[in-house]
């Protein structure tokens, strides 16, 4: 960004002399008595002013403008180029989201999976300079989006997520292992997985503890989030007469989720409603902030010579006009 600054701004107060020059010129012009006296000027009333007469004050105006430019030049105007170099320690984050059938329970509004999608999108919106990826799991697991800084694309891939996209079940270990695989070759200073589930590991070829050990070996921190109210939750069931609700027990393997978090120096959270879930993601957001180092710089370019050259041009014009075309008789 370019700005104009002055090395000696105090000299700009000399500009106050310019109005004084104008007053002095006006006073001298009207106090001067003519050497030729007339009894009346009435015969000259209809005489039109010539161009030379109209421009008789031009030399003085040029002189005043030159003085203004000289004063500005003495104040040393400078063009200032300002900028910032930003260095950041990036964080690579993978969101591992459970989309199993139990995520349709409506102890969250409108249900668990939609609530999880909403807070995940808000979390992504609040990040800067971090690569974020998305892994989904139920009975199987796959990568919905690799690590990216294109947050708009990532959020657009979250919107269509729904239960039933892949085989049902809860393969927590497999989902975690898939997320670890996304981060194992990462060169980021900090590598994080946020794993959200509402159940107990009952599918997959790898258990959560083994996946946590792998995450630990790669220096990956895992935050685990269990979603579900305490006790029972309303679950929609399709019947010949439409959707009916039945109460189903909420079963979350909190012990395993806590162990996974502790093994990887992360933290376990329990969300029992939308508000609590949102506050959990906000806390994780505070815990995992990118460190940004900003270095400011300024580059100065002297501009006084431009004003000096302009002042010399005006003074030259003043001298030429005063001694030729606009010359005044004594």
Question: Residue 164: inside a domain, yes or no?
Answer: yes
Round to whole Å and give the CA distance between 103 and 281: 18
Closest by alpha carbon to 139, among 93, 94, 172, 92? 172
Q: 53-67, 277-291, 316-330: lowest mean pLDDT where? A: 316-330
Residue 322 binned pLDDT confidence (cut-offs 50, 70, 90): confident
Domain range enclosing 224: 91-289
| Residues 100, 64 within the same domain | no
Domain count for the chain: 2
DSSP state, 272?
A: -
Query: pLDDT tens, 190-230?
Result: 999 999 999 999 999 999 999 999 999 999 999 999 999 99
Instruction: For residue 307, tell me if it sits in a domain.
Output: yes
Find tokens 């041009």 and name the residue: 313
Residue 44: inside a domain, yes or no? Answer: no
Please check whether residue 198 is in contact with residue 242, taking contact to mean a CB–CB distance below 8 angstroms: no
Residue 111 and residue 7 share a domain: no
pLDDT reported for residue 330: 52
Block residue for tokens 């806390």: 283
Least confident of 15-24, 35-44, 171-180, 249-258: 35-44
Residues 190 and 302 placed together within one structural domain of the fold: no
**Which of the four pLDDT bands, split at 50, 70 and 90, describes residue 328?**
low
Specify whether 128 is located in the same domain as 243.
Answer: yes
Over range 134-159, report the average pLDDT.
96
In the block, tokens 């161009």 appear at 51
pLDDT of 257: 97
The residue-averaged pLDDT of 134-146 equals 97
* pLDDT score, position 201: 97
For residue 154, tell me if it sits in a domain: yes
In a domain, 140, yes or no: yes
pLDDT reading at 22 higher than 60: yes
- Which residues sit opposite 136 in a β-bridge? 97, 142
- 80-126 tens-digit pLDDT: 776 665 556 679 999 999 999 999 999 999 999 999 999 999 999 99
Q: Is residue 127 part of a domain?
A: yes
Long-range contacts (CB closer than 8 Å, 24 or more residues apart) made by 26-35: none
- pTM, two decimal places: 0.65
Structure tokens at 176: 């975690």
**140 and 278 both lie in a single domain:** yes
Q: Are residues 246 and 223 in the same domain?
A: yes
Q: Is residue 166 part of a domain?
A: yes
Structural domain includes residue 171: yes
Alpha-carbon distance of 212 to 224, in angstroms, equals 11
Say whether both 105 and 244 belong to one domain: yes
Same domain? 165 vs 74: no
**Band (156; pLDDT cuts 50, 70, 90):** very high
| Confidence tier at 47 by pLDDT (50, 70, 90) | low
Pairing of the two strands 291-302 and 77-89? antiparallel
What is the structure's pLDDT at 271? 97
Considering the domain architecture, whether residues 25 and 144 belong to the same structural domain is answered as no
Task: Judge if 228 and 304 occupy the same domain.
Answer: no
Spatial neighbors of 221 by CB under 8 A, at least 6 apart, are 190, 191, 192, 193, 215, 264, 265, 266
On the question of pLDDT at 321 being above 90, the answer is no
Of 124-133, 225-234, 263-272, 296-305, give the lowest mean pLDDT range.
296-305
Both 8 and 157 in a single domain? no
Burial of 263 per CB tally in 10 Å (0-12, 13-18, 19+): middle
Token reading at 246: 């039945």
CATH number of the domain that residue 99 is part of: 3.40.50.410
Work out the pLDDT band at 325, boundaries 50, 70, 90: confident
The string of pLDDT tens digits covering residues 178-197 is: 999 999 999 888 999 999 99
Co-location of 99 and 239 in the same domain: yes
- Burial of 46 from C-beta contacts in 10 A (0-12 / 13-18 / 19+): exposed
pLDDT at residue 135 tops 80: yes
């Amino acid at each position: 960004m370019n700005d104009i600054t002055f090395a000696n701004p105090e000299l700009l107060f000399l500009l106050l002399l310019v109005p004084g020059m104008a007053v002095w010129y006006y006073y001298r012009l009207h106090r001067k008595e003519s050497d030729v006296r007339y009894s009346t000027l009435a015969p000259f009333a209809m005489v039109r002013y010539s161009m030379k007469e109209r421009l008789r004050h031009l030399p003085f105006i040029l002189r005043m403008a030159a003085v203004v430019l000289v004063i500005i030049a003495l104040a040393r105007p400078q063009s200032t180029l300002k900028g910032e170099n930003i260095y950041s320690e990036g964080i690579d984050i993978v969101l591992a989201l459970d989309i199993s059938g139990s995520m349709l329970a409506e102890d969250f509004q409108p249900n668990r999976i939609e609530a999880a999608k909403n807070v995940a999108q808000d979390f992504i919106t609040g990040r800067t300079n971090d690569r974020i990826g998305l892994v989904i799991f139920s009975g199987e697991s796959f990568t919905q989006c690799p690590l990216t800084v294109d947050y708009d694309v990532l959020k657009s891939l979250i919107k269509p997520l729904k239960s039933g996209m892949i085989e049902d079940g809860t393969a927590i270990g497999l989902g975690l292992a898939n997320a670890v695989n996304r981060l194992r070759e990462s060169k980021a200073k900090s590598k994080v997985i946020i794993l959200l589930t509402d159940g107990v590991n009952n599918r997959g070829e790898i258990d959560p503890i083994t996946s946590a050990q792998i995450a630990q070996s790669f220096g990956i921190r895992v935050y685990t989030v269990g979603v579900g109210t305490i006790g029972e939750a309303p679950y929609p069931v399709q019947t010949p007469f439409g959707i009916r609700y039945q109460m189903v027990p909420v079963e979350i393997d909190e012990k395993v989720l806590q162990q996974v978090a502790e093994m990887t120096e992360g933290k376990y959270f329990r969300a029992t409603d939308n508000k609590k879930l949102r506050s959990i993601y906000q806390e994780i957001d505070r815990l995992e902030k990118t460190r940004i180092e900003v270095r400011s710089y300024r580059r100065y370019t002297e501009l006084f010579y431009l004003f000096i050259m302009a002042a010399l041009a005006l003074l030259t014009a003043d001298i030429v006009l005063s001694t030729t075309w606009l010359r005044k008789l004594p």
